[in-house]
Amino acid sequence: MQNIRVVQILWILFCIGLFFTWASLQVFFFPIICRANTFSPISKYAEDPSGFLFLTSKDIIPNSAKFHVIVDGLDQQSDSAHVNVDIDFFCSMIDKNSNNSTFFVLQVLNHISNVSVLVNGDIPENYGEKDNITWSERHSTSYLVIGFPKANLAGHIDVGIDFTWHGLFWQRSFYGYEIIIPFSNDVWGWIHEVGLPQEVIHEEGILHPDQTSQTLLSVAKPETSTISGTLPNPDLITFYSGRVWYLWDVQKNGNHTLYASTAVVIDTEVNDKKSQYELALALFPLMVGIGVPTMISCGIEFLKLHSKEEGSTK
């Protein structure tokens, strides 16, 4: 009778040890500590993905342009951010193709949506989001095409574009993400395959970052994340409108004759997920330390009881 009660207690303890071991593996180790399925937003089948680049059917006067990309609302959960792009430049007053409309094209890495556009303060006529975004699966690149009556545009032109940017986060660990914001220094040879208006693919209408008077990148620190590192270091960190902003002077780092692109890399850590990871890292050895020794001890006691029973029967 006593042996039966001991066996029952050992089975209960063994089940408790098994539960702690199972819980540590299923709840902590596999989904958190052992999670190594990092991913990239770039398809493995993509060739030569491109970054921010502005093209226009106008002839841009050299060193007259300003190109400012402002990124805020970084959200790792939805893998998106809000982007405002402001392009300010002067164009030649001589109109080579007076019978055609003016075209503007913004090239962006990966997908964009929720686009709004202003050209010199006006909304382009017949502008429709679905009809104006061209997606190149082969190059993981989107092209926003904007058409505007050329008769209304001469001299100074200001183009403002707002959109939601998708697929910018590269997950490196359970709580660590990397953002790569590239600027293309020139067009690729396959630009003619995308289906853009031919008027925009000419040297005088390409906004090379190193040929502007100013090309800036501004990134707002995420509210729920920490920026753990950047490459290169920002040229300025400032506080504006209740948020911390990181600013880079892209113009000084660009060189379209030497480099295909210029990029800024930002490493972020999601605060809640990092806390979850640290808690799991602290609880995992504790739970395994309870579960595994308990199972081993119960197994040893089972063997001792089994040996005693065999001895008593002889």
Q: Which of 229, 230, 235 is nearest to 263 (CA)?
A: 230
Q: What is the pLDDT of residue 277?
A: 73
Q: What is the pLDDT of residue 55?
A: 94
Q: What is the pLDDT of residue 112?
A: 94
Distance CA 250, CA 53 (A): 12
Q: What is the pLDDT of residue 107?
A: 94
Q: What is the pLDDT of residue 224?
A: 85
Distance CA 251, CA 237 (A): 18
Cα 123 to its chain centre, rounded Å, is 29
Task: Per-residue pLDDT tens, the chain, 314 aa: give them.
Answer: 456 666 566 666 666 666 666 666 656 665 665 554 566 667 666 667 789 999 998 889 888 899 999 999 999 888 899 999 999 999 876 665 555 678 899 999 999 999 999 888 877 765 545 568 888 888 888 999 988 776 667 788 999 999 999 988 888 887 888 999 999 988 887 888 888 888 888 888 999 999 899 999 999 999 888 999 999 999 999 988 888 999 999 998 888 888 888 899 999 998 887 777 767 666 666 566 666 666 667 666 666 666 666 556 55
Is it true that domain 53-273 has CATH number 2.60.40.1730?
A: yes
Q: What is the pLDDT of residue 101?
A: 77
Strands 214-220 and 66-75: parallel
Q: Are residues 232 and 248 in contact, defined by beta-carbon separation less than 8 angstroms? A: yes
pLDDT digits (tens, 9 = 90+) for 9-48: 666 666 666 666 666 665 666 566 555 456 666 766 666 7
Backbone torsion region of residue 213, taken as left when φ is above 0, otherwise alpha when ψ lies between -120 and 50, otherwise beta: alpha
Q: Which of 97, 93, 107 is nearest to 64 (CA)?
A: 93
Give residue limits of the domains in the chain: 2-35+277-313, 53-273
Distance CA 134, CA 224 (A): 33
